[in-house]
A and B are shown apart, each in its own frame.
Chain A
Amino acid sequence: MSTNDTTAPILSARGLHHSFRHTAALRGIDLDVHAGEVLAVMGPSGSGKSTLLHCLAGVLVPDGGSVTYRPAGRSPLETSALGEPKRARLRLTDFGFVFQFGQLLPELTAVDNVSLPLLLAGTRRAEALRRSSDLLARLGMDGMGAKLPGELSGGQAQRVAVARAMVASPAVLFADEPTGSLDSLASENVLTLMLELVRETGTTVVMITHDARTAAYADREVIVRDGGIGAGYRVSA
Chain B
Amino acid sequence: MNSGLLKLAVVGSRSSYGRLAGIAGGVAVGVCLLLLLWGGANGLSARDDRGAWLRETGRPSVAAPLTTDDPSASGPATPVPLTADTALMEANPVEVFRDQLINRRDFASLGSTTVKIPGIGSPPAPGQYYASPALQRLIESTPRDELGDRFGQFAGTIDDAALPGPDSLIVVTGATEAELRQSGRASLVSDFTTNPYGGSAAAYSTVLSIGAIAVFFPVLLLISIVTGLGAAQRRERFATLRLIGASPQVVSRIAAVETAVPSLVGAVMGVVLAVALRPAAAQIPVNGIRMFAADLTIGWAAAAAVIAVVVAASALVAAHRTARAGIGPLGVTRAMHERTPTMWRSVPLLAGLASMITAVLMIRVMEVRLPWLEFPLLILGFLLIIVGIVVIGPWLTRLVSGVGLRQARSAAGVIAASRIQRAPVATFRSVSGLVIAVFVVSVFAGGSSIIESTEAPPARPGLLQPTSLYATVGTGHTPGQVAEAARQAKELPGIRSATVGYGPAVLSGPDSGPEIYLRAADAPGLGFEDIPAAQIVAVDTSFLWTAQPLALNPAPAANLGRMVPIVMVLGTDGTPEAMDRARTALNRSGITAIPATSPLDLRLQSSTRLIQGLAVLAYLGMFVAIAIAGLSLAVATASAVLDRKRVLGLMRLMGMPVSVLRRIITREAAVPLLTVLLLSVGLGFLVAWLMVTFIDDTYRVTWPAPGYFMALGLSLLLALGAVTATFSLVRGNTAMTATRFE
Chain A residues proximal to chain B, CB less than 8 Å = 50, 54, 59-60, 85, 88-93, 95, 97, 99-100, 102-109, 112, 115-117, 119-120, 124-125, 148, 150, 176-177, 180, 208
Contact = CB atoms under 8 A, between A and B. Distances in A.
B510 interface: no
Contacts of B657: 85, 88-89, 120
A208 B655 CA distance: 20
Interface string B721-736: 0000000000000001
B655 A99 contact: no
B329 to A, nearest CB: 15
B655 A93 contact: yes
The interface size bin for chain B is 20 to 34
Contacts of A150: 335, 337
Interface string B410-421: 110011001101
B433 to A, nearest CB: 23
Contact of A117 (B419, B655, B737, B742): B655
Given A60-B736, A103-B741, 12 more contacts: A59-B736, A88-B652, A91-B654, A92-B655, A95-B655, A102-B646, A104-B647, A106-B335, A107-B415, A108-B418, A116-B654, A125-B408
Shortest beta-carbon contacts, A-B, top 8: A92-B655, A91-B655, A150-B335, A119-B411, A107-B422, A107-B419, A107-B418, A99-B741
11 contacts: A88-B656, A91-B653, A102-B741, A106-B335, A106-B647, A107-B415, A108-B414, A116-B415, A116-B656, A125-B409, A148-B422
A120 B558 CA distance: 93
B423 interface: yes
A123 B316 CA distance: 48
Nearest to A93: B655
Nearest to A148: B422
Interface in B648-663: 650-657, 660
Contact of B742 (A60, A100, A119, A120): A100
A105 B742 contact: no
Q: Which of B411, B418, B655, B657 has the most CB of A within 10 A?
A: B655
A96 B149 CA distance: 90
Contacts of A107: 415, 418-419, 421-423
Contacts of B423: 107
A92 B654 contact: yes
B103 to A, nearest CB: 62
A192 to B, nearest CB: 22
Nearest to B420: A107
A125 B422 CA distance: 20
B interface SS class: helix
Contact of A99 (B409, B650, B736): B650
B436 to A, nearest CB: 26
A177 B419 contact: no
Contacts, number: 87
A117 B655 CA distance: 8
A176 B741 contact: yes
Contact of B660 (A50, A93, A97, A120): A120
Contacts of A97: 653-654
B655 to A, nearest CB: 3
Contacts of A102: 646-647, 650, 741
Nearest to B411: A119
B414 A112 contact: yes
Contact of A120 (B335, B337, B656, B741): B656
A92 B149 CA distance: 85
Nearest to B337: A150
A140 B670 CA distance: 38
Contacts of B736: 54, 59-60
Contacts of B651: 105, 116
Contacts of A50: 741-742
Contact of A176 (B414, B646, B742): B742
Nearest to B736: A59
A148 B419 CA distance: 12
A74 to B, nearest CB: 17
B654 A117 contact: yes
Contacts of A85: 657
Nearest to A94: B655
B682 to A, nearest CB: 31
Q: Which of A50, A102, A116 has the most CB of B within 10 A?
A: A116
A99 B742 contact: yes
B220 to A, nearest CB: 28
Nearest to B406: A125
Contact of B418 (A59, A91, A100, A105): A105
A104 B647 CA distance: 7
Interface string B237-261: 0000000000000000000000000
A148 B434 CA distance: 31
A60 B646 CA distance: 17
B68 to A, nearest CB: 92
A195 to B, nearest CB: 20
Contacts of A208: 742
B419 A120 contact: no
B675 to A, nearest CB: 18
Contacts of A116: 411, 414-415, 651, 654, 656
Contacts of A106: 335, 422, 647
Given A85-B657, A117-B655, A119-B410, A103 B650 contact: yes
Contacts of A103: 647, 650, 741
Nearest to A116: B411
Contacts of B647: 102-106
A99 B653 CA distance: 11
Interface in B384-422: 408-411, 414-415, 418-419, 421-422
Nearest to A122: B410
A36 B423 CA distance: 42
Interface string B327-341: 000000001010000
Contacts of A104: 647
Contacts of B737: 60
A59 B415 contact: no
A116 B655 CA distance: 11
Contacts of B656: 88, 92, 116, 120
Nearest to A119: B411
Contacts of A95: 655
Contacts of A112: 414, 418
A105 B416 CA distance: 11
A85 B653 CA distance: 11
A119 B421 CA distance: 19
Contacts of A60: 736-737
A97 B647 CA distance: 13
A206 to B, nearest CB: 14
A93 B656 CA distance: 10
A177 B408 CA distance: 33
A208 B742 CA distance: 9
B640 to A, nearest CB: 12
A105 B655 CA distance: 15
Nearest to A59: B736
A148 B337 CA distance: 11
